[in-house]
Structure 1
Amino acid sequence: MPLPVILDCDPGHDDAFTIMLAAAHPAVELLAITTVAGNATIEKTTLNARRICTVAGIEGVPVSAGLGRPLCGTGLVAGNIHGESGLDGPGFGEPTVPLDPRDAVTLIRETLLAHPVPVTLVPTGPLSNVAAFLLAHPALAAERVERIVLMGGYTGRGNRTPAAEFNIAADPEAADIVFSSGLPVTMIGLNVSHQVPATADVLDRLDALGTPLARLCAELLTFFGTTYREVFGLTAPPLHDPLTVAHLVAPGLVTLVRAPVAVELTGTHTRGATVVDLDGVTGRPANADVGIGVDAPAYWDLIIEAVRTLGSAR
């Protein structure tokens, strides 16, 4: 039986590949896609989710817009990484996949109620929507959410600030709510995703597929690589977000350890940091499974196969 999943995302180049992997892999039943402001404004991330579904032929999966700002304070965008549109690189036509009229929290609630078994939430952007749902429907979450598998955080240095990863820094209060929820949480952070750079070999494998979707994916990664070189000096961009779905479809692909994770909310220089106690020095109980390693070749095999599957169906 496929694993039922709700994907909450902020497309974003790496989110685009997450959508495709979740839709293409037979081990996942993609029930819904909700969007949040993060890599770009909510209007742009929602449009981008619809664009990716359209070009990849993903139909019948509702796409709903969520929160356009964090629970507290002002939001962040990552135009220096993802471009003005949030998905710069290739050209996109108007999407044919419609926007569901429900807001994200309503869609999550109704999807959980309608599905016969508990559902896994997979957030790959700021955790605003997920936290808002947990606050609004705590009993339903406890009963109907199987687990939360998120991309965000780090066991060491950040990428938005020296201490904080972008998704957590964009809404630290929301992240704190998620990690304090008592639900099973898996955190796959930058320390793992930096182990899966999209190298020239990956682009060659996409080019070899020879489909319009594969060419579009190669263009996405080419643009993504350009900004990562300019901003971080990396020779190839890490493809962060699909690690969440890859972990679900291939248990063991990501190496996990149990650990306490706290989110810093007040530090002058460290707000948004994920404080991961890998050595047990705080004595706090573990509240998350934390990614520390990954089988990179197996990961890229999953990504290439997803693009092949969806591209060949077009």
Structure 2
Amino acid sequence: MKCYELQGPGGIEALALVDKPVPAPGQGEVLVRLSAASINYRDLLTVKGGYGARQKFPLVPLSDGAGVVEAVGDGVVGVAPGERVIGSFFESWSAGEPSEAKMRAALGGAVDGTLSEYRIFPAHALVRTPAHLGDIEAATLPCAGVTAWSAVVKLGGIRPGQTVLTQGTGGVSIFALQIAKMAGARVIATSSNEAKIARLQALGADVTLNYKASPDWGKKAREITGQGVDLVVEVGGVGTLNESIRATRIGGTIAFIGVLAGAPAAELRLPLMVMQQQRLQGVTVGSVEDLQALANALALHQVKPVVDRVFPFSEARAAFHYMSSGAHLGKVAIAIG
């Protein structure tokens, strides 16, 4: 089989296409012939050396993949050859609360990922692909989709009639918009690109704000709602946290996910967060159970992920470069099969 390996700290150009034997599934394991994978910002950081001395080499990158069951090992029940499946981000986190043990083995980080023609998965870490999704679409769910699900539904607790603010047009933010709309919420979405703002509106955003034209977008979101939003899906990190605090209502939640915006321009408004009894909730993907819940919701509402561009397996490096450019809206995927 062919797979890509990051063989050292050389960035995107250090990705090498190598040949390896097709592995055989052992007890409780499943061999999946991968059809598609998708790239997350975390994968880009990994390839560019963002994990420093903790980085595993060689490493097959990417956490998200979908395909078809090729063979099953002894003791596997409920999964059969020919079935379409999605692999979970954390193979050891089946359900329940997170723990060090459950979160130790993340695909494309601590263990080899999905940029490969075949991969062995534990049977319990697989979820059947919803019938209305193609494998490219299914391959976008494990990281970005589950992160957004955890932020909006599992940890954010959003209910019909509430208001969610999303930032930008990356994979997590677009999924958060779609999931919030499925939950019956109103969505305020931000972007700095007017063409992307038009796409956000087409996807169902009720209000859009250009954060370059309105750098005080948090204040504007509070004015629009009259009291502030119930939930901010915070992907910028400390660089956007001040405006997120301004946008959030008393008693509201900021789902803290990303580090895209770098350092804050001024002192953080943490006293305001305290005075308004806001909750800062860290979000790191989720469990196999969460992936199943997301798949069920998408199937019920017949919602499809937004895939910006699909690259062939032979052009995987180009896919990383495109992701790095920030030109995408939604997900960047790689067709393997």
What TM-score do you get using the length of structure 1 for normalisation?
A: 0.32
Which structure dedicates a bigger proportion of its chain to helix? Answer: 1
Which structure dedicates a bigger proportion of its chain to strand? Answer: 2
What TM-score do you get using the length of structure 2 for normalisation?
A: 0.30
Structure exhibiting the larger radius of gyration computed from Cα positions: 2
